Amino acid sequence: MKYHQIDRHLFIKNRSKFTAQMKPKSVAIFNSNDIYPVSADSTLPFAQHRDIFYLSGIDQEESILLLFPDAPYENQKEILFLKETSELIAIWEGAKLTKEEAFAVSGIKTVYWLQDFEKVLAELMTYSETIYINTNEHYRAKIETETREARFVKWWKEKYPAHAVAKSNLILQRLRSVKESEEIDLIQQACNITELGFRRLLSFVKPNVMEYEIEAELIHEFIRNRSKGFAYTPIIASGNNANVLHYIENNQQCKEGDLILLDVAAEYANYSSDLTRTIPVSGRYSSRQKDVYNAVLRVKNEAAKMLTPGTLWKNYQYEVGKIMTSELLGLGLLDKTDVQNENPDWPAYKKYFMHGTSHHMGLDTHDYGLLYEPMQTNMVFTVEPGIYIPEEGFGIRIEDDVVIQEKGEPFNLMKNIPIEVEEIESLMNS
């Protein structure tokens, strides 16, 4: 891992919050992700399943975490099963966690090698009545592959058909959406690395630069600061590419007079950040670009103020829509009759701002969180309004990440990342 080891007390806390929600005499199991093959013997880089990471800090393939708070013996209450390692295996296969290292990372004392899993589980199943399976119920998930977790769930339910089945997902959705202070610090670190990348590209961007050259500047800055890289596929969209919401080709030349929409951010220790800025290729916004930019910025600032404990996501989205509507009227993009005749299911503003304003962010960029429940202190949300105008050849989105506070406005984790027109122009021209 490139990141500094995380204090294991975070994972100890996370486990105790999870087990407090489990039914009596129940076992929960969490699996690592597979390493995905490309072809022949090449593979995609490993990305840990966020749930086993959240509960243990174990960032290694072929790992299993078992939680059994009512186990009859103390050493059965939490168990890790890891890929076997030894000095000899390490020489051939590379270093993997030893049992001592696994304890240091996770705080879990009972660690077995993976080959003992079925035998150890068989005993625990005789003491238990319910199994907690971990299904993926994220509102945006669309999964075509069978994950290691899904494969395991199938096997487990078939092997032990007399056990009742319960869901881990609902517990995790609630727990993971409210961040511990250690987690906020890690997200802040991801944001700080993103800031370094953004400042670096401000002095790099010039007319005729290729979008992928900007991508290369960012990845260089991210990795040299202990990030694994981008938290999500970067969008570096000049001119009208900004009006393709999921443009990820990043292969066009940035032309003088155009804007570049940059939805680019670093991960750190598996925690995301999520930034969008829109900057002028030539270092100066035109007056029209500036007007639209400042309209988006005002919507962002007003929207953020509404992220307070008790707010319902749906009402928030509705209120942001009203603010956006008035800005679009001011820019002459909508007129009064557009608004009077609008379809309440698809209001007029959606012509120029067609996506949501905010999502939870944390271990996943689009993190866990139940959008139908009121917002709470220490939830982390993005705020990312945009105005997209294909007829004028540009699209503008501005995005920050904020933490909901008990009182007052949310804390902006990106408050140091240049955002005002004057600051961006002066940094680009210095």
Give the nearer residue to Mn ion in terms of CB position, either 214 or 402.
402
Tell me the two tokens of residue 182. 């250690």
Residue 359 Cβ vs Mn ion, minimum distance, rounded to whole Å:
6
Residue 350 Cβ vs Mn ion, minimum distance, rounded to whole Å:
18
Residue 384 Cβ vs Mn ion, minimum distance, rounded to whole Å:
5
Residue 137 Cβ vs Mn ion, minimum distance, rounded to whole Å:
20
Give the integer Cα–Cα distance in Å for 230 and 262.
12
Residue 376 Cβ vs Mn ion, minimum distance, rounded to whole Å:
20
Q: Pattern of binders to Mn ion over 348-387, x per CB under 5 A? A: ----------------------------------x-----
Give the nearer residue to Mn ion in terms of CB position, either 13 or 366.
366
Q: Which residues pair with 65 in a beta bridge?
A: 30, 80
Cα maximum dimension of the chain: 76
Q: Within its chain, how far is the Cα of 170 from the centroid? A: 18
Question: What are the Cα distances from residue 378, in Å, to 150, 370, 401, 420?
Answer: 31, 14, 12, 26
Give the nearer residue to Mn ion in terms of CB position, either 306 or 398.
398
Give the nearer residue to Mn ion in terms of CB position, either 131 or 417.
417
Give the nearer residue to Mn ion in terms of CB position, either 110 or 358.
358
Residue 365 Cβ vs Mn ion, minimum distance, rounded to whole Å:
7
DSSP string, 182-224: HHHHHHHHHHHHHHHHHHHHHTT--TT-BHHHHHHHHHHHHHT
Q: Say if strands 37-39 and 42-43 run parallel, antiparallel, or are unpaired.
A: antiparallel
Q: Say if strands 380-383 and 400-403 run parallel, antiparallel, or are unpaired.
A: antiparallel
Q: Restricting to residues 12-51, which ones interact with Mn ion according to CB under 5 A?
A: none
Give the nearer residue to Mn ion in terms of CB position, either 215 or 274.
274
Residue 411 Cβ vs Mn ion, minimum distance, rounded to whole Å:
18
Give the nearer residue to Mn ion in terms of CB position, either 128 or 382.
382
Kindly determine how many residues on this chain lie close enough to bind Mn ion according to the rule CB under 5 A.
2
Spatial CB neighbours of 133, under 8 Å, sequence gap ≥ 6: 29, 153, 156, 157, 165, 166, 167, 168
Q: Restricting to residues 260-279, which ones interact with Mn ion according to CB under 5 A?
A: 274
Q: Looking at 311-377, list the stretches that DSSP marks H as alpha helix, in order from N- to C-terminal side.
A: 313-330, 336-340
Q: Within its chain, how far is the Cα of 352 from the centroid? A: 25
CB of 334 closer than 8 Å to CB of 324: no
Give the integer Cα–Cα distance in Å for 96 and 302.
48
Q: Say if strands 130-133 and 26-31 run parallel, antiparallel, or are unpaired.
A: parallel
Give the nearer residue to Mn ion in terms of CB position, either 78 or 274.
274
Residue 410 Cβ vs Mn ion, minimum distance, rounded to whole Å:
15
Footprint of Mn ion on this chain (CB under 5 A)? 274, 382
